[in-house]
Amino acid sequence: MTSVRVSVVIPSFNHAQFIAQAVQSVLTQTEEDLELIVVDDGSQDNTLEVLAAFDDPRMKIIVQENRGAHAAINRGLALANGRFLAILNSDDLYSPQRLERLTQLLESEPDVSLAGSYIEVIDAHGRPQGIKEGYHTLEPWPLEKPHLSFRQGSDLRAALLTENYFATTSNFVMRREWFERIGPFRPLRYTHDWDFALRAALASRVALLPEPLLKYRIHGANTIRENQAAMIFEICWCLAVHLPHHVADRAWFTAEPRFRRVEQLLHSIYTFGCDRVLNVMLMQDLSSNIHEALQLLDPQDKSRQTYIAYITQKLSQASPAHRINSTHARIHLRSAINRIRGLFS
Q: What is the pLDDT of residue 3?
A: 87
Q: What is the pLDDT of residue 319?
A: 65
Look at 46-50, 117-121, 139-143, 306-310 and tell me which has the smallest mean pLDDT: 139-143
Task: Answer yes or no: is pLDDT of 62 > 80.
Answer: yes
Delimit the domains of the chain by residue range.
6-225, 228-322
- pLDDT tens digit string along 253-264? 888 999 999 999
The CATH superfamily of 6-225 is Spore Coat Polysaccharide Biosynthesis Protein SpsA; Chain A (3.90.550.10)
- Label residues 118-143 b or e (16+ Cβ within 10 Å = b): bbbbbeeeeeebbebbbbeebbbbeb
**Helix, strand or coil for residue 56?**
coil
pTM: 0.91
Q: Which of 73, 78, 27 is nearest to 54 (CA)?
A: 27
Reported as a pLDDT band with limits 50, 70 and 90, residue 317 is confident
For residues 45 and 37, give the distance between their C-alpha atoms in angstroms, rounded to a whole number: 19
Reported as a pLDDT band with limits 50, 70 and 90, residue 218 is very high
Residues belonging to the chain: 345
